[in-house]
Amino acid sequence: MKSRSFLRAFLLLFVFVLLQMLAPRPATTVQAVPSADYRFLGETRLPYGENFQTVVIEDASPDYDSSAENQANHYASTWGMVGALSASGAQVALSPASHYTSPNLSATVEHIAAIDPDGNVISFYYSEDNDWKAVNVSEKTGVPVAVEQPTSWTAQAGDTLLENVAARQTGGKVHVFTWHSGSDWQSANLSSSLGYYAVSPLTNWNAPAGATVAEHVAFRTQDSDLVLYWRYAGGTWAAVNVSGLTAKKVAGTPSAWNMSSDTSKERIAITDSSQHLLLFTYTPATNWSVEDVSAQASNVLVEGRVVAWDSDGFQHIAAHTPSDRLVVFTYDSIESNWSVQDLTTQTGKTIFTPPTLWLSKVGDATTVHLAASSGTNAHVLHFSAPSGTSTWAVEDISQITGVSTPIALDGWWTERGGTSIQRIAAPTGDGRMQVFSKLGSGNWSALDVSQRSAGRIVFSASPLAGVWVSRDYGANWAQSTRPQPEVDAEDVLGALLSGQILDVVVSPEDRNLVFAAADKELREDAASGAGVYRSQGGGDMWQLVHQFSCSWGVEGASQVLIAPDDPQRIYAGAAPSPAARTAVTPGASSSQRPIRTSASGTWRSAARPGRTLKTG
C-alpha cells in the first residue's frame, strides 16, 4: 500500500510539473526597488533611488506552442523564453548641462543635454506624463564629442519643430544633432563643409527672420577668430567670420542672445586676451560692430561665459571675475555708457563658476534669477531681484537640499497648471545629474536624475536564443548578434559559443560591461561553450572567461551575480550537477579567470552588503 501511495503521489507531481512547463508564458516583469540587486530566475530588481516603480516589459517573442508538432522541434517552440533580465545603472554625465523645452500635445517636455565621461551626448527628458528618461544621442549617430557644456535649442521649420544639440569634437569639428517627429537623431558635421573648427564650447541663439527664424551657432577658432554658423530654420548652413568683419580677436568662451526689447539686435559676448569683456552687436543696418565693456566699467575683468537680460531700456550682463566675484554690467541707453555692480560686495558671497540666468513671472511681476556654485564649499547659491531693481537676495540651496556641486549650473523657469517652477541642473562631482526644483512658494528640493532615469539598457537571457538587448527601456529589442566567421575559419572571435543563456548581468558602474552565464548546448555535436562570458562593449563581442571543469568535461553556468556593495566582485554559479560550485572573481574588469571555487552543490546564489556569499 505504501509503495502504491508513493507512486500515485509521484505521478501527480510529475503531471503538475509538466503542465507548468507547457503553460503559456506571462509578460516578463522588471521590478525596480531602491535596495541592492537581488536577482532571481525570471525577475530582476533594479535600484531606483528613493522611490519604487514597476516596469512591465511585454514579451514580444512568438507564443509558446505546446502542440506535438512543435514539441518535436524544441527550438521552434521555446526560442523566445526569457530566463533573466538585468538593466544598466545610473546614467552619468560630467559636463555642465544645457536645457531646452518642447511641446508634446498638451504637455511640456523638459530636456537636459550633457556629455558623459566617454564623450557621448546624453539627453535627459521629462514631462508630467512620463518620469525622467535618458537617450544616448552619440550612440544613435556614432558621433562622440568633447566633454564640455553643449548648447541646445528648438526652431520651428514650417510645421516641423526641430530639437537641436550642438557640440564640438575634440578635433574641433562642429556637429549639430537634430531630432524631430518622424525621424530619430541625426548629426550634421558643419566644419567639414564650411571649414571652420572650434577650440571653445559653442553658444547659440535664434533671431526672427520674417515668417521663420534664423538659427545661429558661434565659437572661437584656433586663429582666435569669432565665427558663427547660421541658417534659416531647417535650411542650409552658412558661415560668417565676425572677427574678420570687426578686426577684433577673441580668447574666451562666447555667450549669445537676441535682445527681447529690440529683436533686430543680436549680441555675442566674449573676452579678449586681456580678459576684457567684448560685446559684438549685429543689426541689419550696421552689420557687426564691437565695443569693450570692461574699458567702460572700471576695467573689471571677466572669466568664462556670461548671461544677459534687458528691462526698462537697460541691458544687463552678469559675469564671474577672475577673483571669484559676481558682477552685473548695466548699460544705460540714455547716458550711453556701461556701469558695474558688485553683487559679492552686496551679498557677501563669492562664486566659483560662471552664473546661469532665468526670469520668472507671477502675474505682471518679473523676477531675475542668477545661480552659481560657491567659491568656498561648492554650494549652489541662488541670487534674485525684482526686475528693474538692484537689490539682490541670496539663498544657499545646498543648505536646504544637502546637495552641492563644483560644476557650472544651468537654470530655467517653466509653468505647469498655473504653478511656477524654477529648475537648476548640474552634475555632481561623481557624475550624477541633479535637478534642483522649486514649485511655487515651496522650498527647494534636489532629484538625482541619473538614478531616476536608470535602466535604459536592458539585457535579457534566453535559454535557447542567447542574449537580447534593449536600449530604450524595453520598448524595442535586438539580439546580441554573433560576429561572422572568416572564410574557412572554425572559431568565431567574440562569439557566444552557446545559445543557452541562463543569466545575464550588467555592471552598475559600466553599462558596457556585461556578464552572461551559458549552459551546455543541446546539440550532440556542439563544442562545449558553456561557462561565464564577459562583454566589454555592451554585448557586441564576448570572451569566455571561466568554465566549470570536472573529470568528465565542462558543466554549464547557471548564474552571474555582482556583489551589491562591491561592483568589482563577481560571483558565478554552476548548473546543477555533482560538480556544481560557485566561482568568485577579484575584480569585474580583471582579465584573469575567476578564482576561488566553492564545494559542490550550488545552483543559485545571493549576496548582500557586508555579508558573505550564501549559496544553495
**How large is the average pLDDT for residues 575-594?**
50
Quote the pLDDT of residue 581: 58
Question: With contact defined as beta carbons under 8 Å apart, do 156 and 233 qualify?
Answer: yes
**How large is the average pLDDT for residues 208-235?**
96
**How large is the average pLDDT for residues 538-542?**
85
Which of 328-342, 470-484, 506-520 comes out lowest in average pLDDT? 470-484
pTM, full prediction? 0.77
pLDDT over 90 at 445, yes or no: yes
Quote the pLDDT of residue 529: 80
- What is the DSSP track for 177-195? EEEETTEEEEEEEHHHHH-
C-alpha cell at 543: 570572451
C-alpha cell at 217: 551657432
pLDDT band for position 575 (50/70/90)? low
pLDDT band for position 523 (50/70/90)? low
Quote the pLDDT of residue 598: 44
Mean confidence (pLDDT) of the chain: 81
Rounded-to-integer distance, Cα 139 and Cα 86, Å: 20
Quote the pLDDT of residue 26: 34
Which amino acid, one-letter code, is at 134? A
Quote the pLDDT of residue 78: 40
Instruction: Give the sheet arrangement for strand 277-283, strand by strand.
Output: 255-258, 266-271, 277-283, 287-292
Question: With contact defined as beta carbons under 8 Å apart, do 528 and 579 qualify?
Answer: no
Rounded-to-integer distance, Cα 504 and Cα 479, Å: 13
Quote the pLDDT of residue 82: 61
Quote the pLDDT of residue 219: 98
Rounded-to-integer distance, Cα 544 and Cα 554, Å: 13
Which of 7-16, 32-41, 566-575, 607-616 comes out lowest in average pLDDT? 32-41
Rounded-to-integer distance, Cα 582 and Cα 598, Å: 5
**How large is the average pLDDT for residues 337-345?**
95
Name the residue among 580, 567, 576, 581 with its Cα closest to residue 609.
567
Per-range mean pLDDT, top range of 242-256, 471-485, 542-556: 242-256
Rounded-to-integer distance, Cα 208 and Cα 217, Å: 15
pLDDT over 60 at 496, yes or no: yes
Residue-range domains of the chain with CATH: 29-88+454-615 (2.120.10)
Alpha-carbon torsion 554, 556, 557, 558, what sign?
Answer: negative
CB contact set of 279 (below 8 Å; sequence gap of 6+)? 267, 268, 269, 290, 291, 293, 317
Question: With contact defined as beta carbons under 8 Å apart, do 396 and 402 qualify?
Answer: no
CB contact set of 442 (below 8 Å; sequence gap of 6+)? none
**How large is the average pLDDT for residues 153-178?**
96
Rounded-to-integer distance, Cα 375 and Cα 386, Å: 25
pLDDT over 90 at 179, yes or no: yes
pLDDT over 60 at 51, yes or no: no
Quote the pLDDT of residue 44: 33
Please indicate whether residue 246 or residue 415 has the higher confidence score (pLDDT).
246
Rounded-to-integer distance, Cα 579 and Cα 53, Å: 39
Rounded-to-integer distance, Cα 580 and Cα 559, Å: 11
